[in-house]
Structures are given as C-alpha cells and as structure tokens.
Amino acid sequence: MPGYLVEDQRKVTTKRLQEMKQAGKKIAMLTSYDYTTARIVDGAGVDVILIGDSASNVMVGNATTLPMTVDQMVYHARSVVRAVKRALVVCDMPFGSYQVCAEDGVRNAIRIMKESGCDAVKLEGGVEILDTVRKILDAGIPVCGHLGLTPQSINKFGTYAVRAREEEEAEKLVSDAHALAEAGCFAIVLEKIPAELTARVVSEVEVPIIGIGGGPADGQVLVVDDMLGKNNDFSPKFLRRYADLFTIMTDAIGQYVTDVKSCDFPNAQERY
C-alpha cells in the first residue's frame, strides 16, 4: 500500500531526515507496536515509526515504561518491521538495557538490531549516557536521543509534568542536545518542555529535533493509540485526537454482541 500523502516512496534513511531538516520539510513520526497498525501507519506516509517502550502502557497496561524487557521490545519491533516498506524504523532501548554500562548498551543495541531488523535505536538521557551512545554509534548503529521528560526516570522525578521550565535544567538540556548531536545522534526527541526551549534547540542544533508536547520542531511524534483516541482517559494538552476509536470500537463491538445474541449474525449470506 503506497503512502498516499507522500510523493517520495523511497525508504526513509537517517540521511534523508537530515536533508528534510535542511530543506525545512517537517518529519512525521508515530509509534507502532504491531504488524497491522504499522502497515497502516507506513502506508499513510509516516516518515519514522517508533516502537516506543510506551508499549508498556498502551499494549501491556503497566503504569510506567519500566517493566519492558529487551525480549518484549524485539517481539514488537519484529512485528512492525515485517509491515514497513518506507518509514525509518526506530526501536526504544528499554529501561535497564543500557544504564548499567556501555558494554551492556552496545550488546543490547546489537541484539535489538539483529533480532528485529529495525533501522535504529532510541535511548533516554544526556551527558550521563554519552559514552554508551558513542559506543553504540561506533558499532554502526544509528542512535536517536531523547531529552526533556524521560519516562524511564519517572521514579527519580516523581512526576510527568513539563520539564526544563527552570533555567538550570533548560541550560543542561541545551548542552545535552549539543553533546548528543556532536556524538553523532541522527535525531533527538524532546518531550514535554516549553515551546521556546524547543525553538532554541531546533535553531542551535543541526540534527532533526522531534517534539512531543514541546511545540513546533523539525518534526512531531505521538503515540498512535493516543492520537487515534483508543484511550479515552488520557488527554494531555499537547495531544490532538484524530479519531475517536474508543467510541467507534465500543459501538462496533457492542453491535456485534447484540447481533450474535439476537441470532442476526451470521445471516444467510454469511455462511457456507
């Protein structure tokens, strides 16, 4: 199925994302965790598909992203990779897979790439994980950074509120973004920070900056289940809902239940 919104059907690469930033073309990124959804997301023209560790919340029902394992990420990523023809596929490295030491990080990044077939990995954090980021890059694996609200550190900060409102934290974020870009990250996700700070990073840092709850940037990312309105009890200010799948699916399934119970389904045409 072709991406009906895009003329350029070539496989998206990290180099192309850089060219898009230079040309002022915006990058559309969404998460996916399964084959069927990834096929639709890719076909609709999304440039980058993220197998986010948000799978922990939306697929598994956990309160945080922390329980996800490398095995689970590989399982989801493999399902997505099978569906994707055009988008660049990025897989989150889950909590615990890169925080102990750089060697662990490299080993797990290689596992994720080898076993899932994805194109790149994403890690949360700044200078504190720089050595690991460098070594993963040295292994030939493209890395996407992630700064601002970093859900894997929820227990350290104790809140999902907007980050880097204070000058000290904002300055650290800017220097982290420079450090990640200079190390060779192909893009950086900035989550839930003031729009002015995002604008500063976009103008100062040469690699594409992808925002989520951070205002305008070189591109945007959302969790696919959230933007499709599958989750009716999550509505942060930054989220735009493009559909109300919660209602559509509930109505459709409710109708199915009614039809089965009333013996309306299957009818004469729906049998052999």
Q: Which is nearer to ligand KIV, 59 or 252 (CB)?
A: 59
Least distance in Å: CB of 254 to ligand KIV? 30
Tokens matching residue 160: 């999902």
Residues that bind ligand KIV (CB under 6 A): 31, 50, 52-54, 92, 189, 191, 212, 221, 223
Is 7 catalytic? The answer is: no
Q: Which is nearer to ligand KIV, 20 or 189 (CB)?
A: 189
Residue nearest to ligand KIV (CB): 52
Least distance in Å: CB of 207 to ligand KIV? 16
What's the longest Cα–Cα distance across the chain? 70
Q: DSSP assignment of 149-208, as one string?
A: S-GGGHHHH---SPP--SHHHHHHHHHHHHHHHHHT-SEEEEES--HHHHHHHHHH-SS-
Q: What is the DSSP letter of 268?
A: G
Contact (CB, 8 A) for 105 and 135: yes
> 128, 171, 191, 270: which is the annotated catalytic residue?
191
User: 88: part of which helix (H) or strand (E)?
Assistant: strand 88-92
Least distance in Å: CB of 189 to ligand KIV? 5
Q: Which is nearer to ligand KIV, 55 or 106 (CB)?
A: 55
Least distance in Å: CB of 171 to ligand KIV? 23
Pairing of strands 120-122, 143-148: parallel
Q: Which is nearer to ligand KIV, 55 or 269 (CB)?
A: 55
Give Cα 94 to chain centroid, integer Å.
Answer: 12
Tokens matching residue 200: 């500063």
Report the catalytic residues: 191
